[in-house]
Amino acid sequence: MAAFPAGVRGYADDATTRSGDEAANTTHPTETADSLQAQQPAPQEQIGSGTAATGEAAEVRAASETPKNSPLRQLELLASGRAPFEPYYDGHKFGLTTAMTRASTAVLPEQDILDDYLAAGDVLPSIGKVQDRYAELISQLTRLMMRDGKLAKAQREMATVLNYLRTAPTPKLDPAHPLLPGHPPAAQLPLNPVVYLTFVIDSVAPLIRIMQMSGAAGGGRSLPVPVPLAQRQRRRAAFMWILESVSKKQSRGSGRNTFATRIAEEVVAIAEGRSGLWDKRLQLHKLGTASRVNTNALTKKRKMKRRL
């Protein structure tokens, strides 16, 4: 006869074989009050028209009970296209966008006057063009450095140039070749490499270009006529001078950053007055001054074209 395993009640101990009163009053030692309470089914929520809330009402109640500064509330606002942060609760490090900080954003007529911040729940402003995220000069010079359509490589080289200017020592400015008026002190130029590069390019940029008018001098000879340049044209001419000067110099190292390093060294040489581009600019201006009497020929030629 097989024996019952230890710890298991036998057939004689089963409550079904006993009388009703004895089975009701008998409790197994292992059955405690906690276990009996755990076995009891949890009370179900009454489902009815008066007590049960609909799904929409539950969402509204959950949204109203969500704190304003909770991440869930911020995600809800962000998903609906609204400002996710509340300045009163979260704060902000650099300040939120205002009408003054987004001049390139199209503002609606009723939004001409805005507060200093956007409160939580306000519609986020539209973002300007992605191409305008860099300074105008940096974008122009980067595309002048680009070869074979490799813009990412040109951007990396421009970043190397700016990093070199930022880490370079304080330039020793030459009074004989000064930068444009209004430039920061020499000790502050490396702190902002974009301003550093801007003042150097604008200072060495020529104001004019010499246009050769073929046959205007008589006998088939060309006549030099000075023509003023716009700001973008001046910057392009100055940087093309720098690229031409850098291409003639040998690299003092190896690696893919040597070209950008030579450009940055030429920029520092211009700031310190050691570059030959200052003499090139002076010779061009002297030639323009000597040939300024020929501007009348250009004016006459334009009048002739208008008559025709």
Confidence band of 255 (pLDDT split at 50, 70, 90): confident
As given in the structure block, the two tokens for residue 206 are 């020529």
Q: Which pLDDT does position 127 carry in this prediction?
A: 59
Render pLDDT for 84-98 as a digit per residue (tens, 0 to 9).
665 555 555 555 555
Render pLDDT for 45-88 as a digit per residue (tens, 0 to 9).
444 444 444 555 555 555 555 565 677 777 787 777 776 665 55
pTM score, two decimals? 0.57
Mean pLDDT of the chain: 74
Q: Which pLDDT does position 254 carry in this prediction?
A: 76
CATH superfamily, domain 136-307, is: Ribosomal protein S7/S5 (1.10.455.10)
| Cα 123 to Cα 69: distance, rounded to the nearest angstrom | 18
| Cα 205 to Cα 137: distance, rounded to the nearest angstrom | 13
Whether the Cβ atoms of residue 145 and residue 158 lie closer than 8 Å to each other: yes
Structure-derived torsion over alpha carbons of residues 21, 24, 25, 26, reported in degrees to the nearest 10: 120
Between residues 27 and 193, which one has the greater pLDDT? 193
Render pLDDT for 239-252 as a digit per residue (tens, 0 to 9).
999 999 999 988 87
Domains in the chain: boundaries = 136-307
